[in-house]
Amino acid sequence: MGEALTVGGSNPEKAASPPRGECRQCWEHAYDSRRVHAHLAPGEECEPCLSHMGGRHPAHLIVT
C-alpha cells in the first residue's frame, strides 16, 4: 500500500499479482491501465474505477 501508483502506466506482470489486502480489480486497473482502459474515449471515466473509489471494494475482490 505504501507504493506510489503510476497513472497511465502498464505493467501486466505486476497487475497480475496484487499483494494481500489489495483489491484485485483496482490493482489491475492501476498497473495495467493502458490495456484495461483502452476502450475509453479521452476524458471518459471508467465505471468500475468510479464504483471502487472511496474504499468501496466488494469483499470477494480483496486478496487474502
Report the pLDDT value the prediction gives residue 18, as an integer from 0 to 100. Answer: 95
Report the pLDDT value the prediction gives residue 8, as an integer from 0 to 100. Answer: 56
Q: How many separate domains does the chain show?
A: 1
Report the pLDDT value the prediction gives residue 47, as an integer from 0 to 100. Answer: 96
For residue 5, tell me if it sits in a domain: no
For residue 17, tell me if it sits in a domain: yes
pLDDT tens for the chain, 64 residues long, are 445 444 556 888 899 999 999 999 999 999 999 999 999 999 999 999 999 999 999 999 999 9
C-alpha cell at 21: 489486502
Structural domain of 39: 12-61
- 52, with CB counted inside 10 A (0-12, 13-18, 19+), is middle
For residue 44, tell me if it sits in a domain: yes
For residue 51, tell me if it sits in a domain: yes
Report the pLDDT value the prediction gives residue 11, as an integer from 0 to 100. Answer: 87
**Contact present, 26 and 57 (Cβ < 8 Å):** yes
For residue 3, tell me if it sits in a domain: no
Residue with cell 497511465: 8
Residue with cell 480483496: 62
